Structure 1
């Protein structure tokens, strides 16, 4: 796992200062503490920081092809590199190293842009072809590995694995994109179609960018997408057997490493399934680790310990307490952009724990998106079936009226929180799912903004890109479209960003076997009844894994990796909540009604409302603005 950075002049091949590339890489040294390198040519410079995983002694980067025609910097792992190496060698390629980086170079020279479809893994890379004077940027199918880029005032394009790599360049503009603030307040992160800084872009998952040095910055081209348009026709028993095969293949392919390897274990279905298959493929005990909380109802370490005992793993646990909130500035520094998924804190802590004994850790991320494991997906599935029975006009009149008068009862048991469901039934499916996914709905966001900021946003609302994505999805049903949105929007923007930054912050490589693209494509073709059944999501996964795991693990209510921020802001962090309305970067931005922010903090502290997530969002935004120099 590594960090990459570089510069490419789009107009004329001006000289590139190696020190500038070095500075961009040094800003990301945590991604690759084991070494680094810089290569420059006319109008181009490539830099690399390395975390050695495969071919530890070899495969230095930037890496040139044997004929010197192409140069590569690469972040990630290609899991089928051995098979590709054999195929390419049969076609006449020669290799000097034992790693996967050189395989990408040979694949490019053999198949050009078509090489991407042959790569199984997680990756973001930049490949410069000296003969064609082209720079090829590519990102993996699901967006496991990040890649930022931005055109600069001197006619060059800068790119880096993290925003901090670009921030090390003196010509990068530091101007906040107001639409990114709106996006962040809706979702709790800045989605991949936008960046907190105007003019900075993220290469979307499954996309590539070919730059030709002709003065043009083309739009990225999509090279992979997942389709929900077709359905498997096989018997459930056959599909279950195929699923187990794909799961086993995904896990074992990600166990290849020349350094110590382990796994995260929460005690949920997904991480437990990964550990079970790792134990099956390992001759020795699997190294596992988990994080607990000092708030009892949120702690899952007992379930993790149950799985660890069953598979005789070498298991370690650590507890997160409110004192860990003192790391908020460290979290802000990890993400550069504001990021308010509070589970980043325990994720970082479990990465720290893992890094004490391993360099690579397998996670269970991805199954909820692919196999319909989220509660919101199950609700959407049932709501969509009802929508098909009642005409839109009747739904809007009936359910819209009821939803408008029904009280918002955050304090009530979940079955009594009907307001959101009623409003969802009154809307089209795409708008309803956007409402379910958002942390703050449009009315709540508008109530936070100043009149001036609302004018600046104009007609833009954060839900619009998500709704458009769902409407254009290659899908057959509302559930399909919801899962497609989760895979294309939520997964890269939230889940994978969280895991990448927190793991890389401690120089740990995280691998996600449940995001193997063959597994994702298989899941997208499953009949809805094998995804959701008897009130359970991930139905086929749970029935398939019964041969490994007890029902106590497979069918217990999903808990998730939750951080008790609501309790923290009513206790040891109450003063932090009160400071939101007066904090310098946020208060001086002119975006928010500070009187309203103060009232929100007091209502939460008094227990009249639950604003824990919103307060965490505001704190993280404030800290990020400070780090970006917006104070």
Structure 2
């Protein structure tokens, strides 16, 4: 895994060192760097492994223009090196480099014009954070690369906390800290000394025109595009593996890799012990079909609790999805066997996965008299996180700051009201890609795999797959309750029937049981009455009710709510209070 960090603006050797120290686990100790009176760029890798995309990352200077790039480019006839990136900029300007696609981040400074640019790839497979700090604009692949700079004010951004509890992530540019931002997917930032940074969106998959084709044509086109997206990511050396959950998405990635990769393929599945439901029979069926080297790993709270603070220092941004910890643990386990890991992320948001059907039923058959924000309310409730706690969980002082319209509805309303895409399912998918995809799914996988030295290889979340989805009719994605239909049609002859023709279940993490056992004492020690009062954010009595499983609700989801609170509190103490 590689990364970039640094700043535009006046020199600052101490600041540069602090940034490097904070992200050295991702970029290594020995880095490539270029520092001038106008900028300071750093690039590095956590491990030195060569593949076909290695020449595409690094730092280069030509004719007064310097570029720092991490990640890789796709759909190219020849590698895009930092030098050729600069040449493209020289020939065509910023619009030229914005045509490039892949999984990458780029920082560019043009000494001839005094302008600086920060670019995030179109789909958002890599993520970068930034902040204005004095006369500099700091940027880093992880938040800590910015907020650990001496003098940076680490203050809680309360509206982001409301969003986090409702969605399990913070959408848009904002983060949990005031003044620290993330660059949205398909966007670039332009900065010039003594001016405020300006954000532009350069990539809009929502405007992809619809194409009229037969179902069979779409199946063939899906197979071709997916094969291309997979091929772009296959390394020529080292052992290759797949996180194989047993669901449709990771199963088709496994099938495709088994067809295209020449070496032995490893697959990795996880479970939470024999007491709990799992999908091992499905993942084993796929592994058996393709004769993979199959590994099964058990995730145990008593093991990961010992290093929970370390794990979330790597995550460095509170993400409430409970699969985050298993992702990290499985990555650490897989690192013993393979050099590269593929995953199936992208199938759900890009091809009509779960949580769309309920919204469609409401859209088609809901009551005639509807409140102004009925769609936004329904979407938040269907997310099934801690939205129902917004009226109960905060202290009296913070309760007064809750504003659903400003903090939540305004995030969602533009997607419902947008002129494109026109179809309701496509609107929901655009929302899921722009919100959940670029702020939860992709950052989570990038950070947890990156912490274990892996690139995140997600062929289903390639821009070409997103555009393919939006070009096809909605009934090829969801029809009569059958989700991700195009994926099933494309792989029905390549996967066991029990994998194709089963309902989506998802990874069932036994939080409800864990918070009756190993996690309960951990949470109680974290949320003592004195500590909750000292922080002043939450209502202790409500937390106690949650811990006792006694709120009187019909669908309380105690485990999920407690998990999200626990993750936030670990982050708050480590980042805001600087607890070691």
Give the TM bin, normalised by the shorter chain: over 0.9
Distance 1:56 1:32, change over 3 A: farther
Hey, what does 1:616 align to over in structure 2?
Answer: 563
The range that moved more, 131-140 or 33-42, is: 33-42
How much does 1:117 deviate? 4.1
Q: What are the residue-to-residue correspondences of 1:139-538 with 2, within 5 Å?
A: 139-152=120-133, 154-213=134-193, 215-227=194-206, 230-326=209-305, 327-374=307-354, 376-387=355-366, 391=368, 393=369, 428-437=374-383, 439-441=385-387, 444-458=389-403, 460-472=406-418, 474-538=420-484
Residue pair 1:578, 1:602 contacting (<8 A) in 2 also = no
Residue pair 1:586, 1:625 contacting (<8 A) in 2 also = no
Distance 2:529 2:101 in 1: 46
Q: Please, which runs of 5 or more residues in structure 2 have no aligned partner?
A: none
Distance 1:84 1:114 in 2: 20
Check if 1:32 corresponds to 2:27. Answer: yes
3-state SS of 2:512 partner? helix
| Equivalences, count | 574
The range that moved more, 541-550 or 69-78, is: 69-78
Distance 1:55 1:35 in 2: 19
Hey, what does 1:63 align to over in structure 2?
Answer: 59
How much does 1:540 deviate? 1.2
Distance 2:274 2:546 in 1: 24
* Aligned with residue 528 of structure 2, among 573, 582, 605: 582
How much does 1:79 deviate? 2.3
* Aligned with residue 628 of structure 1, among 566, 575, 578: 575
Distance 1:28 1:48 in 2: 11
The range that moved more, 607-616 or 547-556, is: 607-616
3-state SS of 2:391 partner? helix
The range that moved more, 448-457 or 200-209, is: 448-457
Residue pair 1:264, 1:288 contacting (<8 A) in 2 also = yes
Hey, what does 1:421 align to over in structure 2?
Answer: none
3-state SS of 1:509 partner? coil
* Aligned with residue 571 of structure 1, among 501, 517, 535: 517
Residue pair 2:52, 2:235 contacting (<8 A) in 1 also = no
3-state SS of 2:220 partner? helix
Residue pair 2:206, 2:421 contacting (<8 A) in 1 also = yes
3-state SS of 2:107 partner? strand
3-state SS of 1:128 partner? strand
State the TM-score, normalizing by the size of structure 2. 0.92
**Which of the two has higher C-alpha Rg?**
1
Distance 1:61 1:522, change over 3 A: closer
Distance 1:260 1:70, change over 3 A: farther
Residue pair 1:136, 1:208 contacting (<8 A) in 2 also = yes
The range that moved more, 69-78 or 51-60, is: 51-60
Check if 1:3 corresponds to 2:20. Answer: no
Check if 1:108 corresponds to 2:55. Answer: no
* 1:471-496 C-alpha deviation (Å, 9 max, x unpaired): 23622232221111100001111111
Hey, what does 1:79 align to over in structure 2?
Answer: 74
Residue pair 1:339, 1:620 contacting (<8 A) in 2 also = yes
Residue pair 2:120, 2:126 contacting (<8 A) in 1 also = yes
How much does 1:277 deviate? 0.9
Check if 1:23 corresponds to 2:4. Answer: no
Distance 1:301 1:109, change over 3 A: farther
Distance 1:291 1:585 in 2: 35
